[in-house]
Structures are given as structure tokens and as C-alpha cells.
Amino acid sequence: MAIARAGRTLTYAELDAAVEQWPHLPVHDASALDLPEALMCVFAAARQGSAVRVEDPAARPERPMHTDPDAFLLVATSGSTGRPKPLARTAASWVDSFPEFTDISGIRPTDTVLITGPLHATMNLFAAVHALWLGACVTDDPAQATAVHAVPAVLRDVVGRMPHVRVAVAAGAGLDDAAAQTISAQEIRLVEYYGSAELSLVAAKVVGEHSSLRLLRDVDARTEGGYLFVRSPYAALGARGWFGIGDLAELNGAELLVHGRGDAAINVGGTTVIAEDVENILTALDGVRAAAVIGTPHTILGETVSAVIELDGSRDLDIIRADARAVMTKEALPRRWTVVQQLPRTSNGKIARRALQ
């Protein structure tokens, strides 16, 4: 079985026939199609040597009139820090990484891979295309899935609805320790990878086997002023050579420690506080379902930390604030707390920092 979606099934023979019959166009558009048809369109474009757009229909990036002749996938960044930027990549910039990703993830042709969001989120598109390249099945049904790709906020919830889960792949944001321990305790192979829409896979680790993210074999990295620069064969067109992701990081040989977005670094009286580090601590506190932090201007300190959190209803905010004071430095401790029903997120589950501001 190739695809099982909303009660509809499609064998590999049926998928191949549909791809073969797909109309020939110089540029295809799978953006507004349902998952089965969108994947048919993507594979038809690959077979025809054409380009295919897979974008958010509600927030299409401004794209040049003429595409690069080498372009296959026309996608976009997530827009977590602003408006999505257009990207174009070759088929090889993804497919060439599939063998190593298969080894790292442990996903097999016998697996059924759960897609947790729209395909215009490149993490989901990568997951679906990799699964079909491998010969696995793509599904939207957690009850049938044995493997899943998701951002940590989604992963924590969906794994509990997957009775047959064997592999969980976390990406798109740092995996907090509490989520990692909860998932690993269920004897699930938990894989965390780091990358970007511009570069695809950069580094990965199997939680419990490796203490740090490790660069993929053919990926090089260096830091300048604490910022990460990557040179990769898996880069999108226009991102070749040394590409600055915008994240703060440390390198120890092939081991990578990512601190988070440079534009999410908060300068509190000369001390740099990384937003993602604070968010991981807050999310690990009992009673907190999700958390996001931003810098708020301060006349003396420059900035202070403000927290926006979702509560699960089990504990009061005053208790959570007391718990935070017990484990956080004074610079990192939020001075302002806002409780919301739901944090603003992009379509692939990342925190939309621009909306938080």
C-alpha cells in the first residue's frame, strides 16, 4: 500500500498509473490538492522533469516569473519569523540524503508513516516523499501508523494515539527533555534532526544512543561570532556554499549544539538568553502544556524575558512561577507572564514569533 488517507487506499501500482496519466505541464501546482493528488502531482513532475509548486495557498511567497531550469520543488520557508521566502531545490538535494536518513531513522519499507500536517510544510513533504521513495505507506491515521514525523509540540500529543508506533522523528524545533523522556520510555526509537528549509538535513541523533546532534557525512559546518554556517550538498538553489542559517550554535568536531535563533536571543543586561532554552525549561514544568518567550524592551536592562504559556489546568500560574524561580537564572526568569488558550503557530507547528511580538 502506498497511501491510506481518509479511508481511501492507493496501491503502488495505482499510484504509478496515476502518475503516468498526470497531465504534462512545464510547472505543476500541488499546493491546493489533497494529499494523495498532491503526491501524485509531485511524482509526476519528477517523472516529467518539470517543476512543482508546493506552497501554502493562503500565504504564497512572491516568486520570480522564470524558474531556475534545474528547479524541481518550489517551496517556501515556514515564515515563523516573518513572511515565507520562496525556495527552489533540485530532486537530488533531497533524494541524495534519503539513504543516510533511512539508516538514522530506522524507518523501513514495512512501516506506515503518519503525516501530521500540510505538505507545504517542508518537513511533512520530506516525510511523505521519503516514505514513498522507500516503499513505505503514507497515512493520516494515527491508529494505523508505525512511524511519525512532527514538531515536538505535535509529537507529544500524537504518539499517545499511536498504539503501533515504533519510530518517532522530531524536527522543526528543539526537543525538550521532558518530551524526550516520555517518548523514549515507551520503547520508541526517537530520532531528532536539525535542518532548515534552505538546507534540508544538517545533523541528527538517536535519543538515548547519542548525546549530541551529529553532522551528516557530507555536511560541513563552522561558526562565526557564535552563528552557524553550513555547506551542504542538500541545499536549495541559491543556498549553496557557506550558508548562514541564523542560529546560534557550538561545534565540537562533528557534534553540534544548537542554541536557537539568533533573532530569538534576548539581551538581558549584557547576558544573552536564548529563547528556546527558556521555552524548554518552562515546557518541562508540571502544568505547562506549551510555552514561548520573547524579549520585551527595558529602559535599564535593554530587554527582559516575557513568557506566553498554555496551561493544562492542573496547576495555578503562581505555583508555576515559583517552580520557574527555583530552576532558572535571574536573567532568564520571565518578568512578564501571559496565559493564552493557544499559542500562535505556523502551519507546521512552529511558534510564530512575529505574531507573539
C-alpha cell at 252: 565540537
Residue 227 pLDDT more than 90? no
User: Which CATH class name applies to 263-356?
Assistant: alpha beta
Long-range contacts of 53-56 (CB under 8 A, 24+ apart): 53/27, 53/28, 53/29, 54/30, 54/119, 54/120, 54/125, 55/31, 55/84, 55/120, 56/31, 56/84, 56/118, 56/120, 56/347
Output the pLDDT for position 355.
Answer: 78
CATH 3.30.70.920 fits 3-217, yes or no: no
Q: Percent of the chain beyond pLDDT 70?
A: 98
Comparing 338 with 175, the larger pLDDT belongs to 338
Q: Percent of the chain beyond pLDDT 90?
A: 61
In 31-101, beta strands by DSSP E: 51-53, 73-76, 86-89
Task: Please provide the average confidence, as pLDDT, over all residues in the chain.
Answer: 90
Give dist(CA 216, CA 91) in Å, integer: 18
Helix axes 275-283, 317-327, angle to 10 degrees: 120
Output the pLDDT for position 172.
Answer: 75
3-state secondary structure of 210: strand
Q: In the sheet where 86-89 sits, what is the strand order?
A: 27-29, 51-53, 73-76, 86-89
Output the pLDDT for position 1.
Answer: 95
Output the pLDDT for position 346.
Answer: 74
Output the pLDDT for position 330.
Answer: 85
Least confident of 39-53, 76-90, 110-124, 267-281: 76-90
Sketch the domain layout of the chain as residue ranges: 3-217, 263-356
Residue 256 pLDDT more than 70? yes
Cα–Cα distance list, 311 to 23, 72, 177, 319, 343 (Å) = 49, 43, 18, 12, 11
3-state secondary structure of 205: strand
